[in-house]
Amino acid sequence: MQVLRLHNRGNLRLHTEPDPIPRDREVTLRITAVGLCGSDLHWYSHAGIGDAQLSTPLVLGHEFAAVIDNGSKAGKQVAVDPAIPCDHCRYCRNGHPNLCENLVFAGHDTTDGALCEKMTWPQKCLYPLPETLGAIEGAMLEPLGVAIHAVELSHLRKGMRVGIFGCGPIGLLIVQLARLRGARQIIASDVLEHRLEAAQSMGAGKTVAATSDDASAAIWAATNNNGVDIAFEAAGENEAVQAAIHAVRPGGQAMLIGIPATDETIFKASTARRKGLTIKLIRRMQHTYPQAMHLVHKGFVDVKSLVTHRFGLGDFKKAFRAALNREGIKVIIEPNQQAPT
Ligand SMILES: [Zn+2]
Ligand SMILES: [Zn+2]
């Protein structure tokens, strides 16, 4: 089978390797769709992310759907949770599997991810997809889960004003979730025009180009000088963090989701202190797969139109280039599709 491994900074290579053999309580999966995520791009560009460094050639990819290849459920389409919590540490026992002390995560550290034709994964991490959903939707449930987790932690309620800073897939999913929850006002900001257009089409009432000098003033004015109740930062850039903190009303909340390239989050202390802000950091997600699936299945959240690029595994260079250049919105690799010739 074909496997894409990251050997070093910017150095991805396609290999032919033997099919993996499932261990106890695992099944073999035929990978159908893998979304490229900002964190994959960090691994690709820096051979690491945060304080984790590449130590062995790693297969990236943690947003994925597959078809079960063996056993009694062979042929079934599933969305795959990339996180394997240990189920016995104190965080797992207290309902915070995303904070598990022994967490294993696909495409991270030394655990191979989904950018390959086949992989083995624990049965407990598989969520059968209803007939109405395909591989693309299945792969998008992971970023949707992150967005749901962020919105839940924020306690977003009807009538609130919300700001979204960074309109990549996660930001756009939060736009949709904020609309669903009855936000009074949704203001979205990004440096890229096409992403602002997408935010508007998904429910943002006001969009502001982050590149403009008076972006902060424009956001503040749009709220009638009230500020937003909750600002979600989903860009991984300190400028976006600063803009988010600037936009929040006194006593409001800033939710930081993006992953900074330098492993440091920097913002002006006085702005945040004077307003007495609550700042929350988002770590992946909790038990959000069933809810994510429900929202997509019932048509409450549109994940499909976020997917703007699809490539076969052999076209990985084009796929990573599109994602790095932030063309479109979400880039998907379909490992078992032949690349178009
Ligand atoms: Zn991700
Ligand atoms: Zn645990």
Q: Are residues 14 and 100 in the same domain?
A: yes
Q: Are residues 87 and 203 in the same domain?
A: no
Q: For 251-277, b where at least 16 C-beta lie within 10 A, e where not — what string?
A: ebbbbbbbbbbeeebebeeeebeebeb
Ligand 1 centroid – CA 107 distance (Å)? 10
Ligand 1 centroid – CA 35 distance (Å)? 8
Ligand 2 centroid – CA 297 distance (Å)? 30
Write down the pLDDT at residue 310: 97
Ligand nearest to the CA of 108: 1
Ligand 1 centroid – CA 73 distance (Å)? 27
Query: pTM for the complete prediction?
Result: 0.94
Write down the pLDDT at residue 287: 82
Q: Which domain holds residue 241?
A: 145-281
> The domain spanning residue 228 has which CATH number?
3.40.50.720
Write down the pLDDT at residue 261: 83
Q: Are residues 77 and 152 in the same domain?
A: no
* Cβ neighbours around 304 below 10 Å, total: 13
Q: Which amino acid is at 205?
A: G
* Per-residue pLDDT reduced to its tens digit, 301-331: 999 999 999 999 999 999 999 999 999 999 9
* Cβ neighbours around 225 below 10 Å, total: 8
> The domain spanning residue 58 has which CATH number?
3.90.180.10
Write down the pLDDT at residue 286: 80
**Is residue 140 included in any domain, yes or no?**
no
**Is residue 234 included in any domain, yes or no?**
yes
Write down the pLDDT at residue 340: 47
Element (H, E) at 209: strand 206-209
Ligand 1 centroid – CA 162 distance (Å)? 23
Ligand 2 centroid – CA 22 distance (Å)? 22
Q: Which residues of the chain have pLDDT under 50?
A: 339-341
Ligand 2 centroid – CA 286 distance (Å)? 12
Write down the pLDDT at residue 307: 98
Ligand 2 centroid – CA 143 distance (Å)? 21
Write down the pLDDT at residue 341: 42
Q: How far apart are CA 248 and CA 271, in angstroms?
A: 10
Write down the pLDDT at residue 338: 62
Nearest to 147 by CA among 324, 311, 296, 33: 296
Write down the pLDDT at residue 283: 86
Q: How far apart are CA 241 and CA 145, in angstroms?
A: 21
Write down the pLDDT at residue 141: 97
Number of folded domains that form the chain: 2
Q: How far apart are CA 33 and CA 36, in angstroms?
A: 10
Ligand 2 centroid – CA 56 distance (Å)? 24
Q: Are residues 93 and 190 in the same domain?
A: no
Are 241 and 249 contacting, i.e. CB atoms less than 8 angstroms apart?
Answer: no
